[in-house]
């Protein structure tokens, strides 16, 4: 499965009121593994950011003056996300801006080009009702290192979101989660026949045997010859 974690930074809070996207960050996972096939744009919004927005993202109006406009990257963005599942934190906000930008260049709604959109804010509210579920709060709760996040940045936030999502859905990686119809409806107390699972047996190599023997010698010395295997040998 191909999943894209997406985040935007904007000049303000209202797409309908004329605010624009100034940064887009996308991080790709395939089968829950990072691929490093990421996509990142800074964009010239053709207007200045609101003062409050500047405090959030710290991207100056001057820095964006020579960056491409959304119309120049729109096709590359849509080709990149085509057919993927898109994961966004507070998806309504980002989709509202993306749809408005696409409307300006004569393209259809963002969701028409992807297989679906997952909102991790909705997921988090279901899992942690009544608690703070901002991206920072989820990083703290789930043990995701966000120490490098002093300001919001679309690519960094997309990378953090990928880590948060993996932690939110870690149960999907549980051994034998999908056992098929044979175990469907089985209670938690039922035993599972593992005989059909072929597990590889990995033999220790010579270096590992030597390291093991050396460790046993150190344990024997530390216990003054009172290790279980030494006492067992004496008794025999």
| 15-40 residue pLDDT tens | 999 999 999 999 999 999 999 999 99
User: Is residue 134 located within the same domain as residue 216?
Assistant: no
What is the pLDDT, as a whole number, of residue 108? Answer: 96
**Assigned domain for 200 exists:** no
**Assigned domain for 146 exists:** yes
pLDDT above 70 (res 188): no
User: Is residue 225 located within the same domain as residue 145?
Assistant: no
- Please tell me the total count of domains within the chain: 2
Q: For residue 46, how far is the Cα from the chain centroid?
A: 31
Indicate which CATH number applies to the domain containing 131.
3.30.420.10
For residue 51, name the pLDDT band (cuts at 50, 70, 90): very high
pLDDT above 70 (res 143): yes
Q: Which structural domain range is residue 220 located in? A: 206-235
pLDDT above 50 (res 103): yes
User: Is residue 133 located within the same domain as residue 39?
Assistant: yes
Q: Do 50 and 12 meet the contact criterion of CB atoms below 8 Å apart?
A: yes
User: Is residue 106 located within the same domain as residue 211?
Assistant: no
**Assigned domain for 68 exists:** yes
**Assigned domain for 189 exists:** no
For residue 83, name the pLDDT band (cuts at 50, 70, 90): very high
pTM exceeding the 0.75 threshold for the entire prediction: no
Which residue matches tokens 């035993």?
Answer: 191
pLDDT above 80 (res 235): no
What is the pLDDT, as a whole number, of residue 224? Answer: 74
Q: Do 53 and 12 meet the contact criterion of CB atoms below 8 Å apart?
A: yes
For the residues 73-86, what does the mean pLDDT come to?
98
User: Is residue 119 located within the same domain as residue 228?
Assistant: no
User: Is residue 96 located within the same domain as residue 163?
Assistant: yes
User: Is residue 126 located within the same domain as residue 74?
Assistant: yes
What is the pLDDT, as a whole number, of residue 192? Answer: 59
Look up 57 and say whether it is catalytic: no
User: Is residue 133 located within the same domain as residue 213?
Assistant: no
Tens-digit pLDDT profile for residues 157-172: 999 999 999 999 985 5
Q: Do 166 and 125 meet the contact criterion of CB atoms below 8 Å apart?
A: no
Best CA proximity match to 7, nearest among 90, 125, 123: 90
Determine what percent of the chain falls in helix, strand and coil, rounding each to the nearest 5. Answer: 45, 15, 40
Angle, CA 108 vertex, CA 43 and CA 73 arms, to 5°: 25
Identified catalytic residue from 89, 152, 209, 212? 152
Give start and end residues of each alpha helix (H) in 90-143.
91-104, 120-127, 135-142
Name beta bridge partners: 9: 23
User: Is residue 14 located within the same domain as residue 58?
Assistant: yes
């Amino acid at each position: 499965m191909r999943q894209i974690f997406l985040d935007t930074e904007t000049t303000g809070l209202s797409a309908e009121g004329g605010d624009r996207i100034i940064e887009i960050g996308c991080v790709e996972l395939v089968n829950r593994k990072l691929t490093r096939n990421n996509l990142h744009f800074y964009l010239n919004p053709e207007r200045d950011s609101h003062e409050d927005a500047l405090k959030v993202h710290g991207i100056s109006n001057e820095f964006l003056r020579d960056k491409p406009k959304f119309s120049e990257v729109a096709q590359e963005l849509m080709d990149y996300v085509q057919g993927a599942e898109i994961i966004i934190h507070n998806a309504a906000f980002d989709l509202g801006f993306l749809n408005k930008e696409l409307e300006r260049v004569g393209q259809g709604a963002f969701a028409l080009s992807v297989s679906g959109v997952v909102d991790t804010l909705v997921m988090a509210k279901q899992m942690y009702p009544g608690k703070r579920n901002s991206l920072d709060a989820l990083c703290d709760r789930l043990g995701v290192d966000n120490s490098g996040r002093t300001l919001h940045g679309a690519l960094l936030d997309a990378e953090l979101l990928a880590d948060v999502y993996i932690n939110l859905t870690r149960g999907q990686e549980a051994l034998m989660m999908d056992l098929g119809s044979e175990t469907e409806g089985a209670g938690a107390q039922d035993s599972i026949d593992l005989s059909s699972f072929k597990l590889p047996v990995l033999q220790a190599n010579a270096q590992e045997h030597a390291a093991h023997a050396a460790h046993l010698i150190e344990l024997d010395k530390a216990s003054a010859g009172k290790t279980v295997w030494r006492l067992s040998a004496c008794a025999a």
